[in-house]
Chains A and B, each alone.
Chain A
Amino acid sequence: MREVYIIGTGIHPWTGFSEKVFSDFATVAVDGALKDANIEWKKIQSIMAGIFIYGGNAGHLTGQYLESIFGETGVPVVNVYNACATGSAAIRMAYNSVAAGETDTALAFGADVSPQGFLTAKSDNAVQDRDVIRWKMTAMPNPVYWALECRKRMAKYGTTEEDLALVKVLMSEYGSRNPDARFKKVYTVDEVLKSVYVCDPLRLFEICPVSTGAAAVVITTDKELISKANKPVKINATTMGSSMYGDPTIRISALSCPAVPEAPMLSESYSASRQAYEKSGIGPENIDILELPDNSSWHYLVYLETCGFCKEGEADKMLRDGQTKIGAKLPVNPSGGFSSHGEALSAQAIWQVIECANQLRGRCGERQVKNPKVAMAQTYGLMGNSGTTIVTI
């Protein structure tokens, strides 16, 4: 496999509901990535696009629609959907195309316009689409799943409501320093604990909403483009994992889970991260920055354990001791995380990788981690989707 570098990154800042179409946001992100890479559109030899599931035909062919805006060149365009890990899948395909020698320079992007309110069923057909059952029969929006797991964690490891609130406090502090974040208000523990329960034990400020946003990366193996780039960042591994039999987690959209664990919790992410460690030869002990998917405060804690940054049940102590702050041993989500951004399904994993890359390039202003060399982006999506990307400079 050839060595592959990120040479350009672009983001449309995260925002709420918008009347604009997804391609307006995608265009901003892709323009930004091309400009950052210092290359022209015609240098892109393949396009890997995240599908925007609420966008109908256009949303399912995001790559083609984007290509037509910049000028059709006949290159391979593939659109991919892996739920909230869609962006990971796009980056992985772009990486594989370049690393394997199919193309030298590829674009991966995702753009998502938020539907308002909770994400709901995408069809009305319970026979074809099992997801419909939880909406018609058990009234379970996504945060219910997180709350069910969070309650188990609190009973097993003594996680407190203050711990859950502290996650939001940290994330809001970092989000306030990030111009691309949607939420910039800083909260105290008291303020978080006064926010209403959405699904007890999780409160309004402890779960992330849906958002609008777009992100794009240009990656290449072309030595001339790498030499001209401003601080290229090497992709050491970009992997995807699926779930393992006996994983006790109740997955979003499922109605049951195993009662006797035979695999780790969030095994799709266990699998993706372990593949990345093996492929890159880099382990948690070498990582200077971690971007993890804090869809809720519960996720922040459990992901430290799932990805092997501490043992099971020890994440609360890491948080309380300040070990996950900027300036400490393992800065977690210096971007402000999903808590400060909200989910833009097909774009979020790409934005996480961009935060890692730009931290390594020293471009992160008030939230900059001091002199990092290795960063890891971890995401996940419903029904067994997860992606890990490890980058170095």
Chain B
Amino acid sequence: MGNMTNMVARIPNLVDWSTGEARLMSRKCDSCGTYFFPREHYQHRPGCSREGVKDVLLPKKGKLASYTIQYYACPPPFKTEKNITPYGIGLVEFENEKIQVAGIITETDLKSLKLGTEMETTILSMFANEEKQEVVTWAFRAVK
């Protein structure tokens, strides 16, 4: 993670780093127990009263439930300063929350990836904006 004071998320309300560590911004429904990511992607259990939905942060760490290595550059609107291909995309499972979340895999030897690998949430800098801030997204890396 770069200089946290000079970072801005390309799209807000997805990843939080205000406590010094990167955590995904989820919501939990207290009525049906379902976690949502992104926060607005509500997927309530049928018949749920939808009462008591609150903002929560997902744990920092989870386990790799699946992954792929993408060899072709993703077309716009994706944007990075440098060509990042080939890049990994992981599906990381947060066991207690019963949710798997997708994200770019960074700072990890892609050949070493295995299902079940312990992963942690981090921040990936994609490019600098006109205000010279780092424009960032969330990403996952293997825990060392």
Q: A117 on the interface (CB 8 Å rule)?
A: yes
Beta-carbon contact of A117 and B41 below 8 Å: no
Q: B134 on the interface (CB 8 Å rule)?
A: no
Q: How many whole Å from A269's CB to the nearest CB in chain B?
A: 18
Beta-carbon contact of A117 and B102 below 8 Å: no
Q: How many whole Å from B51's CB to the nearest CB in chain A?
A: 17
Q: A317 on the interface (CB 8 Å rule)?
A: no
Beta-carbon contact of B37 and A124 below 8 Å: no
Q: B56 on the interface (CB 8 Å rule)?
A: no
Q: A149 on the interface (CB 8 Å rule)?
A: yes
Interface string of A238-254 (1 = CB under 8 A from B): 00000001100010001
CA gap between A32 and B44 in the complex, in Å: 46
Max count, chain A CB within 10 A of own CB: residue among B44, B75, B79, B84: B75
Of A74-82, A185-193, A257-265, the one touching chain B:
A257-265
- Interface members, chain A 185-237 (any B CB < 8 Å): 196-202
Select A199's contact among B36, B69, B138, beta carbons within 8 Å: B69
Known contacts: A138-B89, A201-B68. The answer to whether A259 contacts B100 by CB under 8 A is yes
- Interface members, chain B 17-71 (any A CB < 8 Å): 36-38, 40-41, 43-46, 65-71
Beta-carbon contact of B11 and A133 below 8 Å: yes
Q: How many whole Å from B107's CB to the nearest CB in chain A?
A: 16
Q: Which residues of chain A are within 8 angstroms of B104 by Cβ–Cβ distance?
A: 138-139
Select A137's contact among B10, B46, B67, B68, beta carbons within 8 Å: B10
Query: How many chain A residues have a CB neighbour from B under 8 Å?
Result: 41
Beta-carbon contact of A256 and B14 below 8 Å: no
- Interface members, chain A 130-156 (any B CB < 8 Å): 130, 132-141, 144, 147-149, 151-152, 155
CA gap between A140 and B105 in the complex, in Å: 12
Select B77's contact among A130, A135, A201, beta carbons within 8 Å: A135
Q: Which residues of chain B are within 8 angstroms of A196 by Cβ–Cβ distance?
A: 71
Select A147's contact among B41, B68, B78, beta carbons within 8 Å: B68
Q: How many whole Å from B136's CB to the nearest CB in chain A?
A: 9
Known contacts: A148-B91, A250-B102. The answer to whether A136 contacts B66 by CB under 8 A is no
Q: B128 on the interface (CB 8 Å rule)?
A: no
Known contacts: A138-B104, A258-B99, A259-B95. The answer to whether A148 contacts B70 by CB under 8 A is no
Beta-carbon contact of A117 and B89 below 8 Å: no
Q: Which residue of A lies closest to B116 (CB)?
A: A155
Select A254's contact among B41, B87, B97, beta carbons within 8 Å: B41
Q: Which residues of chain A are within 8 angstroms of B137 by Cβ–Cβ distance?
A: 136-138
CA gap between A117 and B75 in the complex, in Å: 8
CA gap between A134 and B11 in the complex, in Å: 11
Beta-carbon contact of A120 and B71 below 8 Å: no
Q: Which residues of chain B are within 8 angstroms of A117 by Cβ–Cβ distance?
A: 75
Known contacts: A130-B40, A130-B41, A144-B68. The answer to whether A137 contacts B76 by CB under 8 A is no
- List, sorted by A's number, 7 A–B pairs whose CB atoms are closer than 8 Å: A132-B11, A138-B103, A151-B115, A196-B71, A245-B43, A250-B102, A256-B41
New A-B contacts (17) at CB < 8 Å, excluding given A139-B78, A259-B65? A121-B77, A133-B11, A135-B76, A138-B137, A139-B74, A139-B84, A139-B87, A141-B70, A148-B68, A200-B68, A200-B71, A202-B68, A246-B45, A256-B100, A256-B102, A258-B43, A259-B95
B residues touching A (Cβ–Cβ < 8 Å)? 10-11, 14, 36-38, 40-41, 43-46, 65-72, 74-79, 84, 87, 89, 91, 93-95, 97-104, 115, 137-138
